[in-house]
Structure 1
Amino acid sequence: AKGKLTKRATVPLAHGYDYLSLDPTGRYLLGASYFEGHVDVYQLNPQGLPGKVVATRFEGRDKAHSVRVSPNQRFAYVPYVKDQNALYQYAFDAKTGALTPLDPPQAPVADDVGPRHLAYHPRKPLVLFSNEQQLGVSSYRILPDGRLELVHLCPAPGADPQPGLAASDIVITPDGRFAYASVRGFGKELNAVYGYAIQTDGKLQPLGKTDTDTIPWALALSPSGRTLFVSATQGGTLTAYQVQTDGGLQETAKIPWGKDFRDLVVTPAR
């Protein structure tokens, strides 16, 4: 297969989304709306196309930045950035797609953190968030009832929160050993990916940073976890880094790309 994409359909959506994700079974598409604040769940038809909205949540605030269902298909979490600075936690009904707020509906978030994107640990009941305003990473333990318990708020070493700096994406390697989160410099010199070793207790050990081209927006790992891909929105590049055994990153390839290149997805070879 050459990886060529073929357009199948244009589907109207209920809101404009800054983030889309599939539940682990691939039966539902979830969307988070930054400007409107809605979180919607669509059921997918047998052809994989979204149909009607089967569930929606609106918590009276905007700047919802992502939504993902937990690997066990029981819970979903929605972080809010900037002045909203919140993290909502829900029970997810895999039969209907419904989102039901947990008690309490919000997980604890420190001031000026701005949780943005999330990644689940492949084996432990842990979920990590990139923090848009704090610039580092938050580690939460997922309790049996789905509530989140903060384990560690880890700063990005040498990255002082200030206007013009904002964290973006986060990924965890398939073996669960390392996490990577990117920091973007809007008019600033700092553009980098920060590495973290995930300890057995869920705390994070910073590994240092790898400089990138301007505005590292999206991160994606190869299925093996041995290669990290980084999109540079203003730099106009897609760069591949080898994930070394100690968690360090070594640039291996770079190709030019159009500017405003945001997201990327890596699929297994067929």
Structure 2
Amino acid sequence: MKQKITFLTIIFLLTFNLFAQSNYVFLGSYNRDKSAEAIQVYQLDTLSGKLVKFASVKNVVNPSYLTVSPNGKFVYACTDTKTPNAGSISSFEFDPAAKSLTFLNSQRSGGENPVYVAVHKSGKWIANANYTEGSVSVFPILENGKIDSIAQNFQYMEGSTNKERQTRSHVHSSVFSPQFDYLFLPDLGADKIRCYAFDENQKKPLVETKNPFTKTDLEAGPRHFAFHPNQKFSYCIEEMAGQISVYQYENGVLNKIQRIAAHPDKIKEGFESSDIHISPDGKFLYATNRGRENNIAIFSIDENGLLKNIGYQSTLGKHPRIFAIDENGKFLIASNVLTGNVIVFRRDSKTGLLKKVGKEIKMENVSCVQIKKI
């Protein structure tokens, strides 16, 4: 009997290991050097928070922002970012079994300085935001993960009131709605959150709506955008004003219900607020502040969607551009561009507070971090 139990235990462990998923951390950078590892992949130890080097790719310039396909097989990156008269979107195949990340192809981004790319839940479309020329582009994705020719590109010209930073449109992100039936485009230059309906079955999926944009406060500089898991609320981080605007959301329409400072009250200027994410349980919101304060602002979220600040956590580096939260909400990982370091924080699910764990990773000019369970 004892031998039978031992045999069954071994079979169970082998089966568990065969189908067990791992959390992979994808890092992009402003590498500016094709000989450098432009994208690095790490495996996240979900007990200790330790990051272990897994794969990397070279011969790519400035992959400033990354996203991973729903099935985890492909990585899409904004490449040739901050490169004059250039800008591209590139695809890579990720093979955990072979520990490899392989370049597939790239397409011109449809505008200079691509800064954000999002993938549709079907895995058949990507949408990217081009900052300098203020535009959005949509591309079909082929079955092999390669990016097909551009399907649509919309460019915008109007700016807003700040004569130094808002002389024209600067689209800073492209975010799908929870049902993936709308695409939202925070436009830092125009103080607008633009919106299109998205019909995945059409060759040109972006469709104009009765509410093509939502105006933000003047000189707000809307940057990144996040939806609550309950799909009733959305949140926009405003880079220039250092504020977070809270919206009720329904069928592509945003109605503002709150605006709250992302920075401590003592900070009156020099705002460079950056990224924004919500914990999977919907109880806490996190936002990064660069500039004078290099920290993560932490907010509790009430049932009515309103925010209450509960503290700040230093990112232990300078210029935290992008951060990510794993699917289980256990870890938050921040990337600091100017100090070139990546910090793993364990997240307290009850208090929302963060505590550094593991050893920091060094990557020159690290600009983006994404986490995917595969």
Scaled by the length of structure 1, the TM-score of the pair is 0.91
**C-alpha deviations, 1:126-157, integer Å up to 9, x for none?**
2211110121311112123x111112111123
Aligned equivalents of 1:159, 1:259: Cα separation in 2: 31
Tell me the equivalent position of 1:210: 313
Q: Which residue, 313, 327, 330 being the options, matches 1:226?
A: 330
Aligned pair 1:15/2:141, yes or no?
no
Aligned equivalents of 1:102, 1:252: Cα separation in 2: 46
Contact 2:276–2:286 under 8 Å retained in 1: yes
Tell me the equivalent position of 2:70: none
Q: Which runs of 5 or more structure 2 residues have no equivalent in the other structure?
A: 1-21, 23-42, 44-53, 56-99, 158-167
* Cα RMSD after superposing both structures: 1.7
Aligned equivalents of 1:139, 1:72: Cα separation in 2: 19
Q: Secondary structure of the equivalent of 1:200? A: coil
Q: Which residue, 93, 101, 108 being the options, matches 2:215?
A: 108
Tell me the equivalent position of 1:175: 281
Scaled by the length of structure 2, the TM-score of the pair is 0.67
Aligned equivalents of 2:218, 2:198: Cα separation in 1: 27
Tell me the equivalent position of 1:239: 343
Structure holding more helix per residue:
2
- Which protein is bigger by CA-based radius of gyration? 2
Aligned equivalents of 2:280, 2:303: Cα separation in 1: 15
Aligned equivalents of 2:266, 2:170: Cα separation in 1: 23
Shift of 1:173: 0.9
Moved more, 51-60 or 239-248: 51-60
Give the number of aligned pairs.
263
Shift of 1:159: 5.7
The structure-2 alpha-carbon separation of the partners of 1:67 and 1:159, relative to structure 1 and needing over 3 Å to count, comes to farther
Q: Which runs of 5 or more structure 1 residues have no equivalent in the other structure?
A: none
Contact 1:108–1:150 under 8 Å retained in 2: no
Q: State the percentage of identical aligned residues.
A: 24
The structure-2 alpha-carbon separation of the partners of 1:115 and 1:159, relative to structure 1 and needing over 3 Å to count, comes to farther
The residue identity in structure 1 corresponding to 2:131 is Y
Q: Secondary structure of the equivalent of 1:225? A: coil
Map 1:53-72 → 2, pairs under 5 A: 53-60=150-157, 61-72=168-179
**C-alpha deviations, 1:106-138, integer Å up to 9, x for none?**
213112211101111112322211110121311
The residue identity in structure 2 corresponding to 1:204 is L
